[in-house]
Amino acid sequence: MQKNFNVIIYMKIVVLDGYTTNPGDVSWDELKKIGETVIYERTSPEDVVERAKDAEIILTNKVCITETLIKQFKKLKYIGVLATGYNVVDLEAARKRGILVTNIPAYSTESVAQMVFAHLFNVTNNVNHYASENRKGRWNKSKDFCYWDDELTEINKKTIGIVGLGNIGRRVAEIAHAFGMTVIAETSKSQDDLPIYIYKVTREQLFAKSDVITLHCPLNRNTEKMINKTSLSKMKRKAILINTGRGKLVDDDELAEALDKSTIKAYCADVLTDEPPVDNPLLRSPNAYITPHIAWATREARERLIRTATENIRCFVDGHPQNVVNGKLTSLTPHSLPHMGE
């Protein structure tokens, strides 16, 4: 279908928390062409109404748009979430008001998959550790041409267990297979629908058989705190657990205790239960390697995010909305808002 993006429409777009998406190294210019665009680096809950009260379009990453707020936005027609997850918006409240909600699917697949293996290689090869030691002159003092003080591990022929086979889980499986790993997965998909190198197993089988376990499942009643004292006890003592999904997939206290007791070898995570963390025991564990929720944040991924967010709005204006997450609603037509100059 031929899309017409030539209609010039005046509207107000408010970006409530644009800094993490774009701290200044990528461009909002295409978004600004659509209408009057006001970009705030961060917005506290008490400032949301004042900043967005006249907006037809709101873009948000982590600022919550609740039912109470939605009732106060008289002009609002569209909420765009600058992320894949959209739990920050009350979808039902938006639907009742005829407000469309969209997200940005699959923009960070390559970046997050890359972070999975960055974490894995950090544990198996200790690159940062040895680089740091050599800055202190340790290699200069070595009696031999090399030294190591911890086990170095090949991932070839090791078993990786993937919990969840969405876009990221499937990409991780492809990369792991290329490295010669045996790939098993807990997934709702049937074995017949999987590539021949992915073997479907139960969660219990995955925990018991895997040398590496990586979490890519949604957070729900079945997965919240799925990593706990019981599940950890089923894992290999040299197992490496990786979480780039959701912090609440793990029980922080029970996992920290297991790490301190060497129940498993390491925990690698890009997410925590509360972000930013206040007093998380995993940050104190020498066997936990935590990055500050940056797997998604490569420049390439953020450029894709802004490009898709802009395209979502253009499609909405053109009457063919895409990436809608709160059902089928009436889309914005060129006659819904005044033309530029009126």
Positions annotated as catalytic residues are 246, 275, 293
Contact 9, 335 (CB under 8 A): no
* CA-atom Rg of the chain in angstroms: 23
Locate tokens 């003080």: which residue? Answer: 149
Q: Whole-angstrom Cα distance, residue 124 to residue 154?
A: 7
Give the span between the Cα atoms of 201 and 210, in whole angstroms.
11
Four-CA torsion 104, 109, 112, 117, nearest 10 degrees: 180
Residue 246 near residue 295 (C-beta atoms within 8 A): no
- As a dihedral over the C-alpha atoms of residue 27, residue 29, residue 34, residue 36, rounded to 10 degrees, the angle is 100
Tokens 């390491």 correspond to what residue?
266
The identity of residue 298, as a single letter, is: T
CA-CA-CA-CA torsion for 291, 294, 299, 302, nearest 10 degrees? 180
Count each helix (H run) and each strand (E run) in the chain, helices first. Answer: 11, 12
